[in-house]
Amino acid sequence: MAAEILFVDDSRLTLQMSKDLFLSRGISILTASNAEEALELFKQYEIAVVVSDNQMPGMSGLDFLTHLRNVSPDTVKVLISAYIDLPTALAAINSSEVFRYLLKPWQDEEILGAVKEGLRRYRLNRTLRREDESVLRSLAQTIELKDPSTKGHCDRVAVYALMIAEAMGIPKEAQRQIKYGSWLHDCGKIGVSEFILNSSNQLTDVEFETMKMHTYWGADLAEKAHLSDMATNIIHHHHERYDGTGYPTGLAGEAIPLEVRIVSVADIYDALTMDRPYRKGYPCAEAREMVRALAGNSLDPVIVEVFLSVVPDGPLPTTEELTGKSDLVAAEKELSISLSRAKTVPPGFTA
């Protein structure tokens, strides 16, 4: 799936003029007539650059671009307004991380130039992110070495979580952050001794309190590494329970971030199927029924149903297959062409 350019404006004439301009340079664009419609497109497409009018019915352009910081933080944002408004311009820069602030009516070369530079910035960010991916995944695999029984757990949790997220229509950028959080959800275990991690006996109260600290230590690592809020949420809260009896903060129901509720289902299912020092892994069919039984207490019942509908009976796809790594290469090639053309669980269970 190629990365796209999106124009958002409540004026059909402006959208048509934008389409014609970019098509004249050999570039197709997506369009939306309001912010709500645009947000739906973010669930279907990888958006490299978004150009949005500010004054629109419903959600304003500024509010829309601010919201995109969580939905698709890598998307480069261009805000357009019909008049000079210094407070809005400052808010766009400070709150929405807007790349360019342009006035209507814009000049053709001006808008082409802004999009061209935006595409370059997007490609650079994605290149850096891909390098980060290899580092993040290697870190997760290194942490797993402390507990040999969990080998491959982080990758499988990411696969299950991405399957759920895709079925729920979660935006692509959010899926990427869910993948990072899944890989690193147990990164705080780097501060837990191998004696506790590999114990075949029930943990003492003191040992269990030490184990619980991995959620705090992991969140601290995530913040220092400047990971996204979504990834940090997963690392910090993946042991919360839907009924509020989990840790570290006792969040309950929808107060638990959606990304956390998704990963929790994936985490518990995979942990149930794994051999651990204190028990053998359960067969997949039995583990599925155990997950179903946990709906409403440990796990979000809606997400459990989604998981049970998408988990395969056969081999799992890889995270690369789910996130379309090969598609990303194709997308970058298309962006390069566009640039050149524009140049003119049970009680006490621990996962």
Model confidence over 227-248: pLDDT tens digits? 889 999 999 999 999 999 999 9
- In CATH terms, the fold of domain 145-311 is Hypothetical protein af1432 (1.10.3210)
For CA atoms 32, 35, 41, 42, give the dihedral sign.
positive
B/e letters for 257-278, b = 16+ CB within 10 Å, e = fewer, are bbbbbbbbbbbbbbbbbbebee
Specify the pLDDT at position 334. 40
Strand positions, DSSP E, the chain = 3-8, 30-32, 46-53, 76-81, 100-103
Q: Which two tokens stand for residue 14?
A: 């402006």
Q: Which two tokens stand for residue 176?
A: 């990427």
Specify the pLDDT at position 53. 92
Specify the pLDDT at position 350. 44
What does the DSSP assignment read for 300-344? -HHHHHHHHHH--SSPPPPHHHHHTHHHHHHHHHHHHHHHHHTT-
Of residues 119 and 139, the one with the higher pLDDT is 119
62 band by pLDDT with thresholds 50, 70 and 90: confident
CATH 1.10.3210.10 positions along the chain are: 145-311
Specify the pLDDT at position 337. 40
- The residue-averaged pLDDT of 18-23 equals 94
Distance between CA 238 and CA 236 in Å, rounded?
Answer: 6
Of 90-104, 119-133, 335-349, minimum mean pLDDT range: 335-349
pTM of the predicted protein model: 0.59
CATH superfamily for 3-121 is: Response regulator (3.40.50.2300)
CATH 3.40.50.2300 positions along the chain are: 3-121
Q: For residue 170, how many other CB atoms are within 10 A of its CB?
A: 20
pLDDT tens digit sequence for 96-115: 678 888 888 888 998 998 89
175 band by pLDDT with thresholds 50, 70 and 90: very high
pLDDT tens digit sequence for 252-279: 999 999 999 999 999 999 989 887 766 7
Q: What percent of the chain has pLDDT over 70?
A: 78
Of 195-199, 265-269, 316-320, 332-336, minimum mean pLDDT range: 332-336
Specify the pLDDT at position 149. 60
Is residue 262 helix, strand or coil? helix
pLDDT tens digit sequence for 36-49: 999 999 988 989 99
Specify the pLDDT at position 345. 42
- The residue-averaged pLDDT of 188-206 equals 75
Distance between CA 264 and CA 281 in Å, rounded?
Answer: 18
Is residue 96 helix, strand or coil? coil
Contacts 24+ apart (CB under 8 A), 192-200: 192/146, 194/146, 194/147, 197/146, 197/147, 198/147, 198/148, 198/149, 198/277, 199/277, 199/278, 200/277, 200/278
